[in-house]
């Protein structure tokens, strides 16, 4: 019996003390006010300030400063601007990575990016965390964020995944029956650019109506953007975009599928030299910065 009493006493007393602490921090909580149920201690408890916010039926309730009241409609969240800033920073960073503003292996300094975009470092870190999850940025603990320096095996895996998604998009367009018309002008306009192969892959992905397949394919193409530039610098652009657009427009899906397999087979055979060239360029850049 004594053991049971001691057990119940040890279980109930901490809860009572916690409730007493909350009651002292939020004196209005016993009179119909709504208080934050999370316990706060130390300097955070001393610095927390309560503000009066009108609640339902005109009643007032207490809310800690810095915590927004519940969002009642979609416009309130947009007015606060949190999502807009994050989206703008995320898109800007992703476009810069795909465009090659930073070379593979370069470090991404949060403060410099925030200063360039005229935002606080918080949305920059959030955008970088999302890019890390997508594979476009590498997070090295206690060192910072870096542009991924892809190895030979990384390139082989990305080429295999990208090929599977492109073939799935072509099969999806073929199964629908009516081949969509592809404008060859965008492909020919990028015929001399280092990212022409990436533009071609994105155009093929757009043939599919599967939104998830399109998003996954574009992500893999963006991850390959650095390797595509190095490959074009070493070997030039051997792909024929005009011929491929004619195949798809004519509904010659078999020839288009064979073309995609042949092109990725060629890319895989050059993956080792492309990875070596990226690593050599990164080492040369580091030596130049040291000197």
- The pLDDT of residue 72 is 33
Whose CA is closest to 182, among 211, 202, 198? 202
Residue 78 CB partners (closer than 8 Å, separation 6+): 84
- The pLDDT of residue 178 is 57
- The pLDDT of residue 61 is 41
- The pLDDT of residue 268 is 95
Contact 162, 201 (CB under 8 A): yes
Q: What is the pLDDT of residues 44-99, one digit of tens each?
A: 443 433 333 344 444 444 333 333 333 333 333 323 344 578 999 999 999 999 99
- The pLDDT of residue 273 is 95
Kind of pairing, strands 60-64 and 138-140? Answer: unpaired
Rounded distance between C-alpha atoms, residue 164 and residue 145, angstroms: 29
Rounded distance between C-alpha atoms, residue 203 and residue 260, angstroms: 13
Q: Is 182 exposed, middle or buried (0-12, 13-18, 19+ CB in 10 A)?
A: buried
pTM: 0.66
Q: Provide the Cα torsion 122, 127, 132, 136; round to 10°.
A: -140
- The pLDDT of residue 288 is 76
* Each residue's pLDDT expressed in tens, for the chain with a length of 291 residues: 666 666 665 666 555 555 455 445 444 444 433 444 444 444 444 343 333 334 444 444 433 333 333 333 333 332 334 457 899 999 999 999 999 888 899 999 999 999 999 999 999 999 999 999 999 999 998 899 999 999 999 999 999 999 999 999 999 988 887 555 565 444 444 444 556 788 888 888 988 889 999 999 999 999 999 999 999 999 886 656 667 777 887 888 899 899 999 999 999 999 999 999 999 998 988 877 765
């Amino acid at each position: 019996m004594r053991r049971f009493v001691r057990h119940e006493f040890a279980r109930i007393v901490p809860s009572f003390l916690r409730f007493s602490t909350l009651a002292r921090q939020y004196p209005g909580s016993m009179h119909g006010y709504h208080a934050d149920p999370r316990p706060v201690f130390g300097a955070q408890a001393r610095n927390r300030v309560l503000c009066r916010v009108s609640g339902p039926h005109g009643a007032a309730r207490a809310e800690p400063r810095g915590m927004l009241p519940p969002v009642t409609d979609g416009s309130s969240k947009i007015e606060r601007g949190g999502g807009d800033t994050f989206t703008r920073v995320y898109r800007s960073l992703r476009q810069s990575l795909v465009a090659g503003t930073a070379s593979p292996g370069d470090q991404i300094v949060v403060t410099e990016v925030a200063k360039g975009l005229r935002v606080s470092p918080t949305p920059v870190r959030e955008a970088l965390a999302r890019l890390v999850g997508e594979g476009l940025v590498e997070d090295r603990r206690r060192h910072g964020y870096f542009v991924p320096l892809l190895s030979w095996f990384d390139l082989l895996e990305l080429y295999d995944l990208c090929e599977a998604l492109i073939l799935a998009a072509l099969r999806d367009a073929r199964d629908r029956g009516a081949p969509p018309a592809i404008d060859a002008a965008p492909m020919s306009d990028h015929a001399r650019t280092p990212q022409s192969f990436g533009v071609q892959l994105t155009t093929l992905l757009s043939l599919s109506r599967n939104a998830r397949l399109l998003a996954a394919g574009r992500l893999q193409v963006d991850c390959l953007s650095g390797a595509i530039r190095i490959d074009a610098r070493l070997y030039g652009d051997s792909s024929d975009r005009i011929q491929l657009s004619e195949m798809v427009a004519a509904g010659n899906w078999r020839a288009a599928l064979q073309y995609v397999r042949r092109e990725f087979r060629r890319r895989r055979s050059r993956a080792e030299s492309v990875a070596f060239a990226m690593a050599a360029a990164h080492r040369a850049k580091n030596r130049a910065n040291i000197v």
